[in-house]
């Protein structure tokens, strides 16, 4: 599976959009981009995933660049409850989810 690179930490003001970047320059054509988050002392929670097109659900939006070498997870109106570690994962067909170190997002009042 392709490796991903994320900043170790980010801050965001409550109510503002949180934009979490992820680089996956070695991604293959059949690999999906997944985002999970882990709130302290809880199991990881699925957020969103995509292949080529941008995706949106009730939690977030996923913007994937045209060359698919990077993506951005957008939380449109961050709340204090969004404070968590966010993991960007690329997953091949037949592959398993390999978690990196993620980005620790702190939403501040």
Partner 1 sequence: GAGVSQSPSNKVTEKGKDVELRCDPISGHTALYWYRQRLGQGLEFLIYFQGNSAPDKSGLPSDRFSAERTGESVSTLTIQRTQQEDSAVYLCASSLRGVGNTGELFFGEGSRLTVL
Binding residues for partner 1, per CB under 8 A?
32, 34, 36, 42-46, 49, 87, 93-102
| Smallest distance from partner 1 to CB 16, Å | 27
* Residue among 18 and 86 whose Cβ is closer to partner 1: 86
Where in 24-66 does DSSP place strands (E)? 32-38, 45-50, 55-56, 61-64
* Residue among 72 and 99 whose Cβ is closer to partner 1: 99
Place of tokens 């599976």: 1
Task: Report the alpha-carbon distance of residue 34 to residue 100 in Å, rounded.
Answer: 12
Task: Report the alpha-carbon distance of residue 24 to residue 13 in Å, rounded.
Answer: 27
* Residue among 42 and 109 whose Cβ is closer to partner 1: 42
| Smallest distance from partner 1 to CB 66, Å | 21
């Amino acid at each position: 599976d392709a490796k991903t690179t994320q900043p170790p930490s980010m801050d965001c003001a409550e109510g503002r959009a949180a934009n979490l970047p992820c680089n996956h320059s070695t991604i293959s054509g059949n690999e999906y981009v997944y985002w999970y988050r882990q709130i302290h002392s809880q199991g990881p929670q699925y957020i969103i995933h995509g292949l080529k097109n941008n995706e949106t659900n009730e939690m977030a939006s996923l913007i994937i660049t045209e060359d698919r070498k990077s993506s951005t997870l957008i939380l449109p109106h961050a709340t204090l409850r969004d404070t968590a570690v966010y993991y960007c994962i690329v997953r091949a067909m037949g592959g398993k989810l390999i978690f990196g170190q993620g980005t620790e997002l702190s939403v501040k009042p």
